[in-house]
Structure 1
Amino acid sequence: MAESQQQVPTASSSAPPIPESQTPGLRASRLIQVFDQALARTLRANSYSNFASCFPTPARHVPASLESVWRQLNAKLEESAKAEFEEIIDEREAVKHLNELDRLVTEARARKEEEEKNGDGQTENAPHVLGAEELYKAHLTPYLQEAQSTLNNTLEATNAQNSELAQTVQAQRLEIEKLLSHLESVVGDIEGAATAASQFSKEHHLRQDAIQMDHEVNRGSNV
């Protein structure tokens, strides 16, 4: 963007006519140039040697067919990328907006030079003498401030919700600890009851054995 700004002619030079909305101007042309360069580098990276290394068997036995497939793939990739780029440019009206930026910057520089020539004494902070970066920041700052405020409010609400959740989790932990403690007490009671039942069963068997032995002794005495 800085390189593009340096190339914008001043009012004192023979400035080219401002392009129409659909004719790419300085910045729109630069955007298209950057895309073309990036696409060319991508296609160069997909060289035949790199492509063939992924398919060693066809490259060894049918190299001509594999190279044909590679050429068709690159052509399809280039065609699809350009079509999608043009679709985005048209959908976002990028050429129109970039041309408008070119016009604003050119007019601002022309007015600044005219005021300096006439000695009007305008302050450097006047909107019409601002450069592209200052205009960009001036238009973007209110939106950024609003977004920052929204993010801060969202963050505060999230922190409050997290605090409530933390308190809820802490209360649930305490309740679980109480339940576990009560469960341990119940388990202890059950174990005690089981021990007592086992002891009672043993004493009952001993009593039954003693009664049976007494019966047997009495029958022997009667005989």
Structure 2
Amino acid sequence: MPSASPTKSPSPPPPPPTALTPGPRATAFVDLYTRTIDATLKAISPSSFAACFPSIATNAPTQLAAMHQGMCERLRSFALSEFETILEERKVVERLNGLEDLIADAKRRKARGVDGGEGEGGEVIMPHTLPPKRLVSAHLDPLYRSQQSQLNAKLQTTQSQNASLIEVLQRQKAEIRELLEMAEKLVGDAGQAGERLAGVGEEVAREGRGAEEVLGSV
């Protein structure tokens, strides 16, 4: 009798797709852009547009007004079309809807007290019931860790720079020691040369006195 094949555990269902229908934030974002475009085009008033074409404004004001209206409509259509393209390429609506879902989920979790954690026995602990020290630590510990990491990085950089400076100072110290030894040698050589010159001077003086005596006796 054939053995039954082992049943495979079902894989977790994929997350639900984010709706492409604009949510509150996406709708507000699109409305803001539309109002901004309308306000910008409204600033190009017919009078200011006519001031750029005084001859046409005098001879054909109706045609100029139609040209102004058509230009504004084409600019508005082009701006909105480009904006729609950017929204699709960047998936702005989908991401804003995802943000809506995250915020809604956070509100639901907060309402259920999930964010407060669980204590012994699985009971829910509300954040406002925690001791002040624990609340302060929860807020400040991430900042302290970040600052500690930055300080450690700066300390390592300073230690590396100090090691380089010590190496430079040691080289300079060795060079100074060599210069001092060379100077001492030169001083010794100069002393020996002075002693030799003193002996030669006395000999020359004796020879000079002898020459004077010889010349005096002649």
TM range (shorter): 0.3 to 0.5
Q: What is the TM-score with the length of structure 1 in the denominator?
A: 0.45
Structure having the higher Rg: 2
Where relative contact order (Cα < 8 A, 6+ residues apart) is larger, the structure is: 1
If the length of structure 2 is used for normalisation, what is the TM-score?
0.46
